[in-house]
Amino acid sequence: FQPKLLQGKHVLVTAGPTFEAIDAVRGITNSSSGKMGYAVARAALEAGAAVKLISGPSCLKPPLGAEVVNVVSAQQMLKAVNEAVNWADIFIGVAAVADYYVLNPSEQKIKKDAHILTLELAPNPDIVSNVVNLPDPPFCVGFAAESENLYEYAEMKRRRKNLPLLAANLVQTAVGGDENELVLFDDVGAHPLPRAPKITLARQLIAHIANLYQKTLTM
């Protein structure tokens, strides 16, 4: 009998984009389908974990067995993460969180006219950094989408965010499609995972996480 890699562990995953309202119908968002995050949640379930999936707006059907919390904005996502984070052994931030929110969104649809419209934007909280900086954080994994200099930017991001593991992908390959290509960055170095369906990469990522997480328990 081979026990599953994450049997009995609690895994918290964020996925999808966030949507920051401008008015009753318009908003600012990132292009993210949620496919990678949902695949990571599914792979964690297959590995025997209990999974909470906090998802921004996505058309996808969540994996069977995950407890799903649907949110819209980054601030709602942060609140949902804070409510679940003490439960989690492992946190995986796959969501493409909008960097800014609109300071004074209009409750009604703004009527268009010939004038220039100025939006005031304020920075959103960094959810993954909030989690990493908790007094007793879960094992934290970040994602990075870059459009160039993937190796350099991703490793810089991993260090800046103080993450033991960061999975990086090129925006050009990652967004929307069913396949992806990842490079995992950890304290040992870079581990490229060749192009494959997102679920295959998610399973490889979960195996890598389980291995590193196991080591933190024996430290």
Of 30, 124, 169, 180, the active-site residue reads 30
Binding mask 72-101 for ligand C5P (x = CB under 6 A): --x------------------x-x-x----
130 a catalytic residue: no
| Residue 124 makes contact with ligand C5P by CB under 6 A | yes
Least distance CB 74 / ligand C5P (angstroms): 6
Q: What is the DSSP string of 112-163?
A: P-SS-----EEEPP-HHHHHHTSSSPPEEEEEEEESS-HHHHHHHHHHHTT-
Tell me the C-alpha distance between 25 and 74, whole Å: 17
Which range touches ligand C5P (CB under 6 A), out of 24-32, 110-118, 125-133, 201-209?
Answer: 125-133
Distances (CA, A) of 97 to 11, 143, 218: 19, 11, 33
Decide: is 53 part of the binding site for ligand C5P (CB under 6 A): no
Interaction of residue 171 with ligand C5P, rule CB under 6 A? no
Q: Are 11 and 92 in contact (CB under 8 A)?
A: yes
User: Binding residues for ligand C5P, per CB under 6 A?
Assistant: 14, 74, 93, 95, 97, 124, 126-128, 142-144, 157
User: Which residues are catalytic, by number?
Assistant: 30
